[in-house]
Chain A
Amino acid sequence: EDQVTQSPEALRLQEGESSSLNCSYTVSGLRGLFWYRQDPGKGPEFLFTLYSAGEEKEKERLKATLTKKESFLHITAPKPEDSATYLCAVRDSGNTPLVFGKGTRLSVIA
């Protein structure tokens, strides 16, 4: 049973075209929702942690939000260097390991 589902699988944007990536989750007691960025041939790089519905975090052109069932990663006026795979993960109540979604592969075209 999938606990974390990311959509879309792939997204192609023009430079400056804002959009959102979705991460929906089903866990009994959320202890944290994590966003990572992964460049080809590299390990995932930590971006944000969100803990409760209504929480928001920002970093440059990225803004992550959280509801009781899903999280969005909003990308405002993206640049080609934002091209990467974005991974979402959750930590369930009582469990230490994170459960990852399969990621969204973002391509930003100049």
Chain B
Amino acid sequence: DAGITQSPRYKITETGRQVTLMCHQTWSHSYMFWYRQDLGHGLRLIYYSAAADITDKGEVSDGYVVSRSKTENFPLTLESATRSQTSVYFCASSDRRGRSYEQYFGPGTRLTVT
């Protein structure tokens, strides 16, 4: 089915471990985004990508790494997880239709760092 999927949906890891969250979209959208959502902060942008091999930092990029070798995939890696990275992570994608840039979101990954 077409859409945007994230895996895993839930993850528990320990401080200091490397964790990779996966995001896959079937729309061939150019843009992909990673957000984290925390109580009191709303959605905050971590990284985004305008196309394969093009990525840019967002508001809260420290401690995160992304890559985009294929248009449909945009993995997010926490190089050495910290408790402050416990959050719900959402991936989104968008494409330009005229002047429209609405983003479509995945179901989220709930990450707990112990």
Contacts and interface: CB of A to CB of B under 8 A. Distances in A.
Interface in B56-103: 58, 90, 92, 99-103
A97 B102 CA distance: 10
A49 interface: yes
Contacts of A34: 102-103
Contacts of A21: none
Nearest to B42: A102
Contact of A96 (B31, B43, B108): B31
Contact of B108 (A42, A49, A89, A91): A42
A105 to B, nearest CB: 11
Interface bin, chain B: 20 to 34
A45 B106 CA distance: 9
Contacts of A45: 105
A98 B1 CA distance: 26
A71 B84 CA distance: 33
Given A43-B90, A43-B108, A44-B90, A97 B100 contact: no
B100 A101 contact: no
A31 interface: yes
Given A49-B100, A96-B31, A43 B105 contact: yes
Contacts of A49: 100, 102
30 contacts: A31-B99, A31-B101, A32-B100, A32-B101, A34-B102, A34-B103, A41-B108, A42-B107, A42-B108, A43-B90, A43-B92, A43-B106, A43-B107, A44-B43, A44-B90, A87-B42, A91-B101, A96-B31, A96-B48, A96-B50, A96-B101, A97-B33, A97-B58, A98-B101, A99-B45, A100-B42, A101-B42, A102-B41, A102-B42, A103-B42
